[in-house]
Amino acid sequence: MLVMLLSCCILLLFVTDPGFTAPTFIPEGESTPLPEPQFDLKLATDYLHQYYSLQNDHLVRIKRSEPSFISKVKEMQMFFGLNSTGVLDTETLDVMQSPRCGVPDVEEYSHIQGTSWNTNVITYSIGRYTRDLGRSTVDSLIESAFGVWARASGLTFTRTYTRNADIMVEFVTYAHGDFYPFDGPRGTLAHAFGPGMGAGGDTHFDDDEHWTVGGTGFNLFVVAAHEFGHALGLKHSRNPESLMYPTYKTFRPTNLLSREDVANIKALYSPLRGHRSWLLRPLLPRLMQDKCAPDLTFDAVVTLGDATFFFKDRYLWIKHNEQSDIKEGPIVNFMPTIKTSIDAAFWIPRRSTAYLIHESTFWTVKGSVVRGKPRSLSFFGFPAWVQDVDATVHIVKTGRTLFFMHDVYWSFNENRKVMDFGYPRSISEDFPGVNTTIDAAFYEGDFIYFFVGPQVYKFDHSHRAVVGVETAHSWLGC
């Protein structure tokens, strides 16, 4: 089952009248000023890139007169029921600056609706808690938020105290290992993955927000109910009365779900579908990869921020350097734009940038975000006959990135952006003891770790010698 991240943020206030909309306090005779031209263009570009698939490589400044930009503005305006002019007017900019969900509204995620859990009994677990509320309060609010959907669907939610639950609930900040970093106070409030294996269903709340049980700050009960709708398979609605509406909306706590919400959750978890799902339930765990298999191999291993990423076919394990837990699942769960395997990868710490390679193309990952479209491997200056590489590694000490292919390797000067003269050279001559094709490579503390099948050779870069041999699965704690 394909799982795409479904992330959301909603600002919600309790009111006594369900038709009441929270007022904007503007002194009489004044109006909201338009932002500075460059600010509103950057705001719109970032907004349309994140929510409407506007292509933006962050290196070329987009002009508001470009047809692709105008088309995406119109698309956004149509979604929110605005006047579809393609112009960044005040009303459009106001919507773009409103608190909202991080999931795209159209196109890329449009096929997600309809995915569901293969059972009518769904487990959840709470990991890290917020600093704003007591644990018992959080437990009660989370249970109540699940209850909203239980009453409408007939689903049963059972809490467990392990990390193997269907839905893992956690309060985190900024980059937290899933390629969807939070942005500090009053930005994205929370996000959730849709149903599926690995990270599927996991729901994260930004602990830089002020979480409350009332009408001040952000009410955890209502935000959680919205998030769990995504974790169950629902996507955003254009209906302002729906709990799944993506932007700022007020709700009465006694009646969160609209008729549309109820109809959609029932459609996903009808009794007939639920009966079939009970038969499918035992098959779901088999889709998970066995990280402790003695013959486990990796295609690429790379640092990204404070975590290490292990790629195998189209699967991914993410191990936080300061945490014991490992997130896992299909690559597309964490990086929706990458629908292939990764053959090689390397990290350049001084740029906080990683490069992920598949055959003759590569993606640039800055921080926790995949930037722009994939580019050709020829960017690095390879001869035309080189259409793929087996492994790559960046040596911080020398400023070189090494590209390994069969029995030879190249050295790329990251400062001058050129290949070093005299390459390719023999791997066995320059790395004695490593006499075979390399699957993946990783650099740390002046050691290069060469992954060759299920074994890992620890190579002392200064003394040019293999000083140890490990197993690949030991890197995942096995």
Residue 13 has pLDDT above 60, yes or no: no
Q: In CATH, what number is assigned to the domain containing residue 268? A: 3.40.390.10
Identify the residue with better confidence: 283 or 48.
Answer: 48
Bridge partners (DSSP) of residue 297 are none
Catalytic residue from among 75, 227, 328, 414: 227
Is residue 5 a part of any domain in this protein?
A: yes
Q: Average pLDDT in the 41-57 region? A: 79
Query: Is it the case that residue 472 has pLDDT exceeding 80?
Result: yes
Length of the chain: 478
| CATH assignment at residue 363 | 2.110.10.10
> Is 11 domain-assigned?
yes
Tokens of 440: 């993946």
Q: Which residues partner with 168 through β-bridges? A: 125
**Overall average pLDDT of the 408-414 stretch:** 93
Tell me, yes or no, whether 265 lies in a domain: yes
What distance lies between CA 121 and its chain's CA centroid?
26
Residue 59 has pLDDT above 60, yes or no: no
Q: Are residues 260 and 347 in the same domain?
A: no
Q: Give the whole-number percent of the chain exceeding pLDDT 90.
A: 31
Q: Which of 244, 261, 288 finishes a domain? A: 288
pLDDT band of residue 9 (cuts 50, 70, 90) is: very low
Domain boundary among 288, 309, 339: 288
Q: Is pLDDT above 50 for 274?
A: no
Are 188 and 332 found together in one domain? no
- 335 with 434, same domain? yes
Task: Count CB-CB contacts under 10 A for residue 189.
Answer: 28
pLDDT at 3 over 70: no
The verdict on 334 and 265 lying in the same domain is: no
**Model pLDDT, residue 120:** 87
Predicted local confidence at residue 29, as pLDDT: 36
Band of pLDDT at residue 322, cut at 50, 70 and 90: low
pLDDT at residue 302 is higher than 80: yes
73 vs 86: CA distance, rounded Å: 5
Note whether 219 and 245 are within 8 A (CB). no
With respect to residue 134, please indicate whether it lies within any of the assigned structural domains: yes
The pLDDT, as a whole number, for residue 421 is: 93
Which range has the top average pLDDT, 64-78, 96-110, 354-368, 395-409? 395-409
Residue 140 · residue 253 · CB < 8 Å: no
Q: Strand order of the sheet with strand 5-8?
A: 5-8, 190-193, 203-206, 167-172, 121-126, 156-159
Q: What is the mean pLDDT of residues 286-303?
A: 82
- Burial (Cβ within 10 Å: 0-12, 13-18, ≥19) of residue 317: buried
Looking at residue 108, what is its pLDDT? 42
What does each C-alpha distance from 118 to 155, 156, 269, 325, 331 come to in angstroms?
Answer: 11, 13, 9, 25, 21
Q: Quick check: is 294 in a domain?
A: no
295 part of a folded domain? no
For this structure, is 227 an active site residue?
Answer: yes
pTM of this structure: 0.62
Please check whether residues 140 and 195 belong to one and the same domain. Answer: yes
- Nearest Cα to Cα of residue 239 among 76, 66, 81: 81
Of 137 and 385, more confident: 137
Average pLDDT over residues 174-185: 82
pLDDT band, residue 57 (cuts 50/70/90): low
Percent of the chain with pLDDT over 70: 81
State whether the Cα torsion 363-364-370-374 is positive or negative: negative
Tens-place pLDDT, residues 20-35: 223 333 333 333 444 4
pLDDT in tens, 325-382: 788 888 887 887 888 899 999 999 888 889 999 988 999 988 667 887 888 998 998 8
Segment 2-18 mean pLDDT? 39
* Amino acid in the structure at residue 444: E
pLDDT over 90 (residue 232): yes
Among 100-114, 260-274, 346-360, 379-393, the minimum mean pLDDT is found in: 100-114
Going by C-alpha positions, the residue among 438, 451, 368 that lies closest to residue 407 is: 438
pLDDT of residue 452: 93
Q: Are residues 362 and 270 in the same domain?
A: no
315 shares its domain with 246 = no
- 238 and 336 together in one domain: no
Pairing of the two strands 300-304 and 218-219: unpaired
Token readout for 27 is 């002194």
Question: CB–CB of 3/199 below 8 Å?
Answer: yes
Three-state secondary structure readout of the chain: CCCCEEEECCCCCECCCCCCCCCCCCCCCCCCCCCCHHHHHHHHHHHHHHHHCCCCCCCCCCCCCCHHHHHHHHHHHHHCCCCCCCCCCHHHHHHHCCCECCCCCCHHHCCCCCCCCCCCEEEEEECCCCCCCCHHHHHHHHHHHHHHHHHHHCCEEEECCCCCCCEEEEEECCCCCCCCCCCCCCCCCEEEECCCCCCCCCEEEECCCCEECCCCCEEHHHHHHHHHHHHCCCCCCCCCCCCCCCECCCECCCCCCCHHHHHHHHHHCCHHHHHHHHHHHHHHHHHCCCCCCCCCCCCEEEEECCEEEEEECCEEEEEECCCCCEEEEEHHHHCCCCCCCCCEEEEEHHHCEEEEEECCEEEEEECCEEEEEEEEHHHHCCCCCCCCCCEEEEECCCCEEEEEECCEEEEEECCCCEECCCCCEEHHHHCCCCCCCCCEEEEECCEEEEEECCEEEEEECCCCEEEEEEEHHHHHCC
| 401: containing domain | 300-476
Asked if residue 450 has pLDDT above 90, the reply is yes
306-328: average pLDDT: 83
Asked whether residue 313 is assigned to any structural domain, the reply reads yes
Quick check: 126 pLDDT over 50? yes
* 384 and 454, same domain (yes or no): yes
Alpha carbons 101 and 103: distance in angstroms, whole number: 6
191 with 265, same domain: the answer is: yes
438 pLDDT above the threshold of 80: yes
| Residue 195: Cβ-neighbour burial (10 angstroms; 0-12, 13-18, 19+) | buried
The confidence score (pLDDT) of residue 445 equals 86
Cβ-contact 131, 205 below 8 angstroms: no
- pLDDT score of 112 more than 80: no
Check whether residue 94 and residue 37 sit in a common domain: yes
Is there a contact between 443 and 427 (Cβ–Cβ < 8 Å)? Answer: no
Same domain, 187 and 276: yes
Q: d(Cα 108, Cα 97) in Å, to the nearest integer?
A: 22
Please report the pLDDT score of residue 394 as a whole number. 94
Going by DSSP bridges, is the β-strand pair 156-159/121-126 parallel, antiparallel, or unpaired?
parallel
54-63, 94-103, 220-229: the lowest-pLDDT one: 54-63
For residue 33, the model assigns a pLDDT of 44
Average pLDDT over residues 52-69: 72
Q: Specify if 293 maps to a domain.
A: no
Most distant CA atoms of the chain, gap in Å? 79
Residue 7: per-residue pLDDT: 43
Question: Which has more confidence, 86 or 8?
Answer: 86
Residue-level pLDDT at 103? 67
Tally of domains in the chain: 2
Domain boundary among 231, 253, 288: 288
Taking 80 as the threshold, does the pLDDT of residue 4 lie above it?
Answer: no
